[in-house]
Structure 1
Amino acid sequence: MSLPSRPQETVRNSLIDDAKARLKKHDAGSKYSYLSSSKCSILLPLLVKEEKLYLLFTLRSDKGDTLVTPVVGLIDHNFQATPNPDEVKNVFLVPLEYFLHPRFYHQSHVTQPGYCGIVHCFKYTNPEDGVTYCIRGMTAKCALLVALIILGEKPTFEMEFNLSDLIASSEETFLKHYKHATSKL
Structure 2
Amino acid sequence: MWRYCPPQKPVRNSLIDDAKARLRKHDVGTKYSHLLSNKCSILLPLLAKEGKLYLLFTLRSEKRDTLITPVVGFIDSNFQAKPNPDEVKNVFLVPLEYFLHPSVYQQNHLTRSGHHIIIHCFEYTNPEDGVTYHIRGMTAKCALFVALIILGKKPSFEVEFNLNDLMSSSEESLLKLHKRATSKL
Question: Which range, TM-score by smaller chain?
Answer: over 0.9
Measure the CA separation in 2 of the matches of 1:182 and 1:83.
37
Distance 1:135 1:178, change over 3 A: farther
Q: Which residue does the alignment assign to 2:109?
A: 109
Paired residue type of 1:61: S
Measure the CA separation in 2 of the matches of 1:59 and 1:33.
26
User: Equivalences for 1:136-151 in 2 at 5 Å?
Assistant: 136-151=136-151
Measure the CA separation in 1 of the matches of 2:140 and 2:178.
16
Q: Which residue does the alignment assign to 2:3?
A: none
For residues 67-96 of structure 1, what are the alpha-carbon distances to aligned partners after superposition, in whole Å with 9 as ceiling and x for unaligned? Answer: 111110111111111111111100000000
Task: Name the SS for the 2:155 alignment partner.
Answer: coil
Measure the CA separation in 2 of the matches of 1:117 and 1:56.
26
Q: Which residue does the alignment assign to 1:180?
A: 180
For residues 37-94 of structure 1, what are the alpha-carbon distances to aligned partners after superposition, in whole Å with 9 as ceiling and x for unaligned? Answer: 1111111000011110000000000000011111101111111111111111000000
Q: Which residue does the alignment assign to 1:11?
A: 11
Measure the CA separation in 1 of the matches of 2:133 and 2:94.
10
Q: Which residue does the alignment assign to 1:3?
A: none
Task: Name the SS for the 1:173 alignment partner.
Answer: helix
Measure the CA separation in 1 of the matches of 2:59 and 2:49.
21
Gaps of at least 5 residues in structure 1 are 1-5
Paired residue type of 1:105: Y
Q: Which residue does the alignment assign to 2:26?
A: 26
Distance 1:92 1:179, change over 3 A: farther
For residues 153-179 of structure 1, what are the alpha-carbon distances to aligned partners after superposition, in whole Å with 9 as ceiling and x for unaligned? Answer: 000000001111111111122332343
Deviates more, 1:113-122 or 1:85-94: 113-122
Q: Which residue does the alignment assign to 2:152?
A: 152
Q: Which residue does the alignment assign to 1:88?
A: 88
Q: How many residues are matched?
A: 181
| 1:72 and 2:72 aligned | yes
Paired residue type of 1:140: A
Measure the CA separation in 2 of the matches of 1:32 and 1:24.
16
Q: Which residue does the alignment assign to 1:48?
A: 48
Task: Report the CA distance between 1:182 and its aligned residue.
Answer: 4.5
- The answer as to whether partners of 1:97 and 1:147 remain within 8 angstroms in 2 is yes
Identity %: 77
Measure the CA separation in 1 of the matches of 2:30 and 2:103.
36
- The answer as to whether partners of 2:42 and 2:69 remain within 8 angstroms in 1 is yes
- The answer as to whether partners of 1:44 and 1:55 remain within 8 angstroms in 2 is yes
Distance 1:182 1:61, change over 3 A: farther
- The answer as to whether partners of 1:66 and 1:178 remain within 8 angstroms in 2 is no
Task: Name the SS for the 2:165 alignment partner.
Answer: helix
Distance 1:125 1:36, change over 3 A: same
